[in-house]
Structure 1
Amino acid sequence: MSSKLSLPNEPRANGFFVDGVWNSGSDYKRLDRVSPGHGAVVSSVTLCTAEDTDKAVAAARTAFEGFWSETPGAERGRILLKAAQGIRAQLDEMAYWETLETGKPISQSKAEIEAAADHYEAAAGMARLITGETHNAYGEGMIGLVTKQPIGVVGLITPWNFPFIVLAERLPFILAAGCCVVLKPSEMTSTTSLMFADILAEAGLPNGVYNVVTGVGPEVGEALSNHVDVDMISFTGSTAVGERVLEASKSNLKKVGLELGGKNPQIVFADANLDDAADGIVFGMCFNAGQCCVSGSRLIVEASAADALKAKILDKLSKVKLGDPLDPETQMGAIVSPQHFNKILGYVEKGTAEGANLEIGGTSAEVSGGEFILPTVFSGVEADMAVARDEIFGPVLSIMTFETADEAINMALDTEYGLAASVWSKNIDKAIGVIRKMRAGRCWVNTTIVGGPEQPMGGFKRSGTGRECGMMGVEEYMETKSIHVVLGDREHWVN
């Protein structure tokens, strides 16, 4: 097993990237990033301005109108394939910085960077498969064509919890569609998105197609969302901020794609493999320390199996390796910031105050100088409790019980969100019947948090709009045009 990595000798000073040119940001205000897992400054980000955003949008517009929108899909695909090769060549370094800035285990970062490369390879093929329709039922005098064309300049705003894989679930499909991008990564986790600018340039992506403007949401994010020369905004983050992005989009009625919050159910029937279910549930709540929008934070279990399943969950949680994110043995890492750390512990206090039973965890842990919270389980949870309704975004599981399948379905649907859901049962008729009732965009049967770039993802209800990945993820960034072609001479209206 490889040895644990060390912190950098000095913080990495990041600039920003517009029209193929790096600006060091040396004369700008900067924001230091403290590693969540270590309590030490590891990087700093340039605080760009609305003027920088304007320049990036102008560069993207020039590239889009000048050449990128007309570049053949085969050529776009070749660039995406080379980008995937570049990601794999720098996998270790990118995973290192992803771990330092997010606090997630290095093993998870490596898996996500590797998965990101898969997305660029998948999108490379899709760039060549963009199709339309023909309509041949008008009679001999007319034929109809339906074509797809890139929507234009896309403003892309990505979150802190999965900076590089969320980018990969969007960017390659945007580029495959023929659009140009202005990216605003989270100010807390910008490094890998900036590193990728050089990888794309080396892969042959022309100047102006990919631009990265760093900074905070109220400055750069608002400027992008309001910008009248941005044709579409793709935002991933909280529902509250998503609402503000949607409001800002009225500046030019730009298209908006949103992947927002979730309070996702895991329904477990008594006939499930309880060992598998327990393992999946523990993985789902500890993955990225629960800071995951599709985390299965609501366990809805058949009453006759509740005690047995809870015992298996608690046993597994007692064995989860919480530790230094740079240690390859670590399974669960740190909480992203002191503010979020306090928010999660505040929900633990609410759960206890409202009468839920604290089964395990609920406290912080002293590990490697960072912000860590032990995996936490509440039982005896009622539907009106805050821990059952609010997106906590931490390693907190709420257990509720049911007697009938219909009751389980109603409990699962009793939420304003609709991002993800899992069903565990060895009765395939039951499992498929229940999963079909879920109002959620990403669903699993007898597993959780798996999948690849082939299938679309997105939310129902207040979890968002639009779809990412797959061919639907390419078409999300395209406009549909109907063309009517008259054959032969026109029959004149005026004689």
Structure 2
Amino acid sequence: MDKPTIDLSLPKTPREFGFFVDGGWIGAGDRDVFERNSPGHNVPVSRIPKCTEADLDMAVASARRAFDDRRWSGLSGADRAAVLLKTAEGIRTRAEEIAYWETLENGKPISQARAEVGGCIGMFEYASGLARAIHGDSFNNLGDGMFGVVTREPVGVVGLITPWNFPFLILCERVPYILAAGCTIVAKPSEVTSVTTLMLAEILHDAGLPDGVMNVVTGSGSTIGQGLIEHDHVDMLSFTGSTAVGRRVVEASGRTNFKKLGLELGGKNPQIVFADADLEDAADGVAFGIGFNTGQCCVSGSRLIVERSVADQFADMVAEKFKKVRVGDPLDEATQVGAITTDAQNATIMGYIEKGQSEGATLLHGGEQLDFGRGQYIAPTLFGNVTRDMAIAREEIFGPVLTVMPFDTVEQAIDIANDTEYGLAASVWTKNIDKALTVTRRVQAGRFWVNTTLSGGPELPIGGFKQSGWGREAGIYGVEEYTQIKSVHIEIGKRSPWVE
């Protein structure tokens, strides 16, 4: 059967959306609305309600009822798996529509959005199997009078706060695993990229998810996000965003009900290139690692650490790759690097480019705003003569800006790589297995790639070391993250009396 197609032209008027609570849509009514302009075209594309604290309370109450009456957690793993599989089919059916709206609101290339949606289908398919695989343990070694059982139980109501850089992908790296565990959800997407989260709620409902299990409340981080973090009836919160905001999430949890936290935070990720690597492959991988999603990616490879004997040659190779990268209209299927998602992020990136030059780094390529008549675009940017103390080498820029630092020994490469508060991801490029394994073992990062970058799937977990976060998403670890462990002691036979 042919996949449905969609007109990739810009909408003539912005599309109106409500929010989704207790299995149904609620219109904006007299609430204020947020009008989103497409960052690639600067035309209005969507209008989203600015929900109130009362709306959030209503959504949390819905999720609480749905959890407490066991309409979802009380189902068998097989029944939950059936809903997740049907959801995967629903995403497949609406994949073009989802990718289109992801591109409109985020500014990423349509080809990338399509690939991400395809990966999200796999997340739901894989998690459906995990819903049937969750299990505990037993202890038959406690003597003839006692039997021990360990069970995994869903943690409860999960608040889910997702960012604007991967609105659908990050959502789908969490939702199917949370649901597989038996939890209920209140999701708060970024106010600039809310549409695809609302679409997923509708797809889940159509797939048979009981009312109240998936709720989406739209609005600002200061109102809805903060309210979700502090809500006493939310048992766990999953937050993806900056380390600075993650720190505030931890503080807020401590002030309220000590809810369990899952945090995927910032990164300043190294790409280590040895002279014995396939340099052509490595140059392409490094360019992809910083150009993907215009560098607005917490796992982007923003620090190039390259063996000194090939450092100049390799920097030239990366610059040549940058020259050939197709930057432009996100709805053009040939585009490789799209628009910067928000005005604030655009200003931040350009500010770091200026700072890098003022600190004495050498601009080897890019560094300028690109003018296509509409939208906001930045050329892939490469800095040489970078030292560890420079802001561009230490701070997360969240844009297509790559810094080059040379090294002489394996030990020095590892030292430079670990010289950061972050520990989210890393890559190494070498044909020497000893070097690859040594670096993989000793660089502090939650995700690691050898002779590749930014690859993955639903099987392997996601998360960071150090100030890059707590916990893991995806894979069986991602399901276990949303469970609690209970120890059950079962006495066999007649009790030995305490009171005679």
When normalised by structure 2's length, the TM-score is: 0.98
Three-state SS of the structure 2 residue aligned to 1:127 is helix
Equivalence map 1:61-140=2 (5 Å)? 61-66=64-69, 67-140=71-144
| Cα distance in 1 for residues equivalent to 2:164 and 2:413 | 33
Q: Is the 8 A contact 2:6 2:96 kept in 1?
A: no
1:245 aligns with 2:245: no
Question: Which amino acid counterpart does residue 45 of structure 2 have in structure 1?
Answer: V
Q: Is the 8 A contact 1:324 1:368 kept in 2?
A: no
The residue aligned with 1:309 is 314
Question: Which amino acid counterpart does residue 477 of structure 2 have in structure 1?
Answer: M
1:216 aligns with 2:200: no
Equivalence map 1:248-259=2 (5 Å)? 248-250=252-254, 251-259=256-264
The residue aligned with 2:334 is 329
Three-state SS of the structure 2 residue aligned to 1:295 is coil
Three-state SS of the structure 2 residue aligned to 1:343 is helix
| Cα distance in 2 for residues equivalent to 1:432 and 1:85 | 39
The residue aligned with 2:385 is 380
1:367 aligns with 2:403: no
CA distance 1:491–1:3, change in 2 (3 Å) = closer
The residue aligned with 1:56 is 59
Match of 1:411 among 403, 408, 416: 416
1:358 aligns with 2:363: yes
1:434 aligns with 2:445: no
Question: Which amino acid counterpart does residue 232 of structure 2 have in structure 1?
Answer: V
CA distances 1:254-282 after superposition (whole Å, capped 9, x unpaired): 00100000000001010000001000000
Match of 2:354 among 341, 349, 358: 349
1:189 aligns with 2:193: yes
Instruction: Give the root-mean-square deviation of aligned CA atoms.
Output: 1.0
CA distances 1:148-179 after superposition (whole Å, capped 9, x unpaired): 00000000000000000100000000000000
Q: Is the 8 A contact 1:3 1:327 kept in 2?
A: no
Three-state SS of the structure 1 residue aligned to 2:442 is coil
Match of 1:19 among 8, 18, 22: 22
- Measure how far apart 1:141 and its partner are: 1.1
Runs of 4+ in 1 over 4 A off after TM superposition: none
| Cα distance in 1 for residues equivalent to 2:243 and 2:53 | 24
Three-state SS of the structure 2 residue aligned to 1:436 is helix
- Measure how far apart 1:486 and its partner are: 1.0
| Cα distance in 2 for residues equivalent to 1:385 and 1:76 | 50
- Measure how far apart 1:14 and its partner are: 1.4
| Cα distance in 2 for residues equivalent to 1:303 and 1:44 | 52
CA distances 1:36-65 after superposition (whole Å, capped 9, x unpaired): 100111111110011111100110011111
Equivalence map 1:151-162=2 (5 Å)? 151-162=155-166
Match of 2:237 among 233, 241, 258: 233
1:391 aligns with 2:396: yes
| Cα distance in 2 for residues equivalent to 1:438 and 1:368 | 43
The residue aligned with 1:37 is 40
1:274 aligns with 2:279: yes
| Cα distance in 2 for residues equivalent to 1:99 and 1:137 | 57
Match of 2:474 among 457, 469, 485: 469
- Measure how far apart 1:3 and its partner are: 11
| Cα distance in 1 for residues equivalent to 2:134 and 2:445 | 27
1:296 aligns with 2:301: yes
1:166 aligns with 2:170: yes
More moved, 238-247 vs 165-174? 238-247
Q: Is the 8 A contact 2:84 2:176 kept in 1?
A: yes
| Cα distance in 1 for residues equivalent to 2:171 and 2:288 | 23
Q: Is the 8 A contact 2:110 2:332 kept in 1?
A: yes
Number of aligned positions between the proteins: 494
The residue aligned with 2:10 is 7
The residue aligned with 1:449 is 454
| Cα distance in 1 for residues equivalent to 2:48 and 2:473 | 28
- Measure how far apart 1:337 and its partner are: 1.4
- Measure how far apart 1:311 and its partner are: 1.5
When normalised by structure 1's length, the TM-score is: 0.99
| Cα distance in 2 for residues equivalent to 1:169 and 1:462 | 20
More moved, 311-320 vs 146-155? 311-320
Question: Which amino acid counterpart does residue 20 of structure 1 have in structure 2?
Answer: G
Question: Which amino acid counterpart does residue 82 of structure 2 have in structure 1?
Answer: R
- Measure how far apart 1:367 and its partner are: 2.0
| Cα distance in 2 for residues equivalent to 1:269 and 1:368 | 41
| Percent of aligned pairs with the same amino acid | 59
- Measure how far apart 1:189 and its partner are: 0.2
Gaps of 5+ in 2: none
